[in-house]
């Protein structure tokens, strides 16, 4: 029996780090539009983590995380940059 790539490919849940088959995972698009697939790579969540995630609007949080290069620096460096960005936003006001 022949399996397609998505059934045999292994992915990592971005929330808990568990490895699982892509067929058992849920796609996560940090840009919020998983239906627009052109030129995108997706991250994945296992089913329990996908059920647990909040689907409420995060008011531009994902865009801010991308702008701050989340995942590209150490956690300490990222948190320092994030704190500075939040403080700057607070001082600028609504």
d(CA 92, CA 2): 58
H helix runs in the chain, sequence order: 5-8, 47-52, 61-67, 75-92
User: What residues contact residue 86 under an 8 Å CB cut-off, 6+ apart?
Assistant: none
Residue 60, pLDDT score: 80
From first to last of its 94 residues, the chain has per-residue pLDDT tens of 445 555 679 999 999 999 999 999 998 887 766 677 787 788 899 999 999 987 777 778 878 888 888 888 888 999 999 999 989 888 887 6
44 burial level (CB within 10 Å; 0-12, 13-18, 19+): buried
**CA–CA distance, 13 with 22 (Å, rounded to integer):** 10
pTM: 0.56
pLDDT at 7: 63
């Amino acid at each position: 029996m022949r399996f397609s790539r998505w059934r045999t490919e292994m992915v990592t849940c971005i929330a808990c780090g568990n490895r699982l088959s892509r067929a058992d995972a849920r796609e996560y698009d940090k840009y919020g539009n998983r239906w627009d697939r052109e030129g995108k790579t997706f991250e994945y969540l296992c089913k329990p983590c996908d059920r647990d995630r909040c689907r409420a609007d995060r008011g531009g949080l994902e865009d801010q995380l991308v702008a701050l290069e989340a995942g590209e620096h150490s956690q300490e460096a990222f948190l320092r940059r994030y704190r500075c960005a939040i403080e700057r936003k607070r001082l600028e006001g609504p």
